[in-house]
């Protein structure tokens, strides 16, 4: 389906306006938050701050992934060369991804969303799941098993050039922390990516497309979900307005800093009436788990 099925060409142009200043603020705010997390642990080093940092850095890593995502759409900055640079060197490389490869696959996701040909379908088609299955998924994520598997698969899929870029990005981060006298803090970054970030990515993927009204309806209001996060959920699961996902699928050219306004417009126009909009990520989690009366007695051990 096309955005013009919902809104006029003038409205499409209005909401698709790009601002280099606002795009820069998005990127800068993410990196300032990362720097502050490291700084807090450097000043007050104890198990509590280290644990909190690993949790918070997982959310900031999602933020960098969203920067890669938005730059892949060419929606963060006016010029493509700025999007290309920021997507790779201020986003993807630091979270073990690759901007070019991600862009190619994600374009297919938008084109084939709501069909059985969606390349991302495997991330959410099997929900809702049993409670035991959901616990096992969380355990694999938190113990690093999912992260290790993801890293190996990504390295093979993206190739040597992408891995080289990862090494460069990680070395830069370590060197900056080393110059600040706290090189050991870098260890928090891969620790977060291997654990809290894996949980966050799983929940974010599922929140966007899992257990929706109709997985195979091309209308994004049927195969996509928008989640309005609670205040404490936003730093972890909704950086850079990534939670406005129906809106993003209706018009992918809308920059993340205009998605909230676009959401209000669609709601006022009645376009979101009947769409899947959850009031918290906890509400989403409850939809991802089968009701007690539907739980099988002996769930499959590898589900």
Note the pLDDT tens digit of each residue in 163-175: 999 999 999 999 9
Tell me how long the chain is.
303
Helices 80-89, 47-72: inter-axial angle, 10-degree rounding: 150
Q: Which residues contact 229 (CB under 8 A, 6 or more apart)?
A: 237, 238, 243, 280, 281
Note the pLDDT tens digit of each residue in 215-242: 999 899 999 999 999 999 999 999 999 9
Q: pLDDT category, 63, cuts 50, 70, 90?
A: very high
pLDDT at 2: 73
pLDDT at 301: 52
- DSSP of 244-298: -HHHHHH-TTS-GGGHHHHHHHHHHTTTTTT-EEES-HHHHHHHHB--GGG--SS
User: Domain segments of the chain: what residues?
Assistant: 3-292
Q: pLDDT category, 104, cuts 50, 70, 90?
A: confident
């Amino acid at each position: 389906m096309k955005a013009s099925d919902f809104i006029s060409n003038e409205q499409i142009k209005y909401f698709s306006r790009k601002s280099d200043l606002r795009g820069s603020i998005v990127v800068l705010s993410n990196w300032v938050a990362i720097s502050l997390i490291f700084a807090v642990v450097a000043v007050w080093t104890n198990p509590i701050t280290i644990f909190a940092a690993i949790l918070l850095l997982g959310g900031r890593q999602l933020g960098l992934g969203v920067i890669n995502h938005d730059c892949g759409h060419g929606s963060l900055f006016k010029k493509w060369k700025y999007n290309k640079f920021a997507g790779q060197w201020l986003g993807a490389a630091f979270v073990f991804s690759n901007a070019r490869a991600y862009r190619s696959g994600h374009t297919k996701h938008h084109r084939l969303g709501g069909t059985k040909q969606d390349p991302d379908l495997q991330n959410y088609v099997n929900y809702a799941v049993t409670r035991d299955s959901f616990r096992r998924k969380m355990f694999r994520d938190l113990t690093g098993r999912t992260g290790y598997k993801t890293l190996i698969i990504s390295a093979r899929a993206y190739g040597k050039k992408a891995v080289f870029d990862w090494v460069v990005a990680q070395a830069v981060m370590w060197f900056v922390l080393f110059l600040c006298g706290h090189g050991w803090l870098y260890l928090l970054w891969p620790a977060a990516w291997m654990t809290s970030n894996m949980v966050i990515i799983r929940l974010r993927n599922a929140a966007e497309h899992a257990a929706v009204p109709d997985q195979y309806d091309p209308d994004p209001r049927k195969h996509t979900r928008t989640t309005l996060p609670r205040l404490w959920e936003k730093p972890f699961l909704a950086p850079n307005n990534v939670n406005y996902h129906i809106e993003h699928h209706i018009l992918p050219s809308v920059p993340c800093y205009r998605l909230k306004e676009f959401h209000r417009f669609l709601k006022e126009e009645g376009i979101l009436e009947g769409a899947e909009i959850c009031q918290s990520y906890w509400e989403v989690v409850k939809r991802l788990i089968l009701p007690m009366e539907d739980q099988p007695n002996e769930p499959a051990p590898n589900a």
